Amino acid sequence: MATKTLAKYIQEYRQAHNLSLRDFAAECDLSHTYISKLEKGIDDRTGAAIEPNLQILEQIAKGTHTDLTNLLMLLGKIDSSLIYYDDIPLSESEDAQMEHVVQLPILGEIRAGEPIFADEHIMGYEYINKDEVKTGKFFFLHVVGDSMINARIYDGDTVLVRKQEDVDNRDIAVCLVNDDTATLKRVMKTDQGIFLQPENPKYDPLFFSHQQVLNGEVKIIGKVIKVIFKL
């Protein structure tokens, strides 16, 4: 299949369907100013090439009445080989895989500092190099809050998490507290139990005795492997 740039794809689609920038933007549920940038392919302020994320490409695919996989193939971003992670859902449209990367879900926000209900709502999808996720099951979580700032995990960052039920002492983990709240903390193990230690002095640690751990009042659901910083 011959490939083309996203800018060319948008231009040709608008011309073929006689759509203005505003009309096309409305079809994709995006701003017309952003569509203008995509059609140019370059950010006027920085001169850098614009690389839209997967969510944007999904909206463009929907707005142009095509399948996301077809669009990605047309743009030369994926090959025909697909992979599956057994218990972690991929995109609803297709289990798309680029040649050297895999697509993982970004699960619902967790509040680093003030635990919130941990639903398994998928916010979107992100690509990562396959070599980074070869051993185990992985997912992304979006961070809200400032309790881990001294570990260089900030509000708006995304963390890559490997699913596992235990971590080593001082690892940063995603934990479920009382089965319905999630928190991102450093796990400190002692003879008496475990502390979920924030990395911000204005927050207090959470302590759980060994009995509370056995009772399931706190459960480790994954280890933070990598932080993707918000620019």
Q: In terms of pLDDT, which residue wins out, 85 or 27?
A: 27
Q: Locate tokens 């709502």: which residue?
A: 121
Mean pLDDT in residue range 173-183: 82
Quick check: is 80 catalytic? no
Measured between alpha carbons, how far is 161 from 118 in angstroms, rounded to an integer?
A: 15
The two structure tokens encoding residue 215: 């009772």
- Proportion of the chain above pLDDT 70, given as a percent: 80
pLDDT at 2: 53
Q: Locate tokens 């997912």: which residue?
A: 139
The answer to whether 30 touches 56, Cβ cutoff 8 Å, is yes
Write out pLDDT tens, residues 13-25: 999 999 999 999 9
Write out pLDDT tens, residues 95-137: 444 456 788 878 776 544 544 434 455 677 788 888 888 888 8
Element (H, E) at 103: strand 101-111
Q: Which domains does the chain have, with CATH numbers?
A: 6-74 (1.10.260.40), 101-228 (2.10.109.10)
Quick check: is 185 catalytic? yes
Active-site residue identified among 147, 163, 189, 226:
147
Mean pLDDT in residue range 75-93: 48
Mean pLDDT in residue range 176-185: 81
Mean of pLDDT over the chain: 81
Reported confidence tier of residue 143, pLDDT bands at 50, 70, 90? confident
Active-site residue identified among 62, 185, 209, 226:
185
Mean pLDDT in residue range 213-221: 91
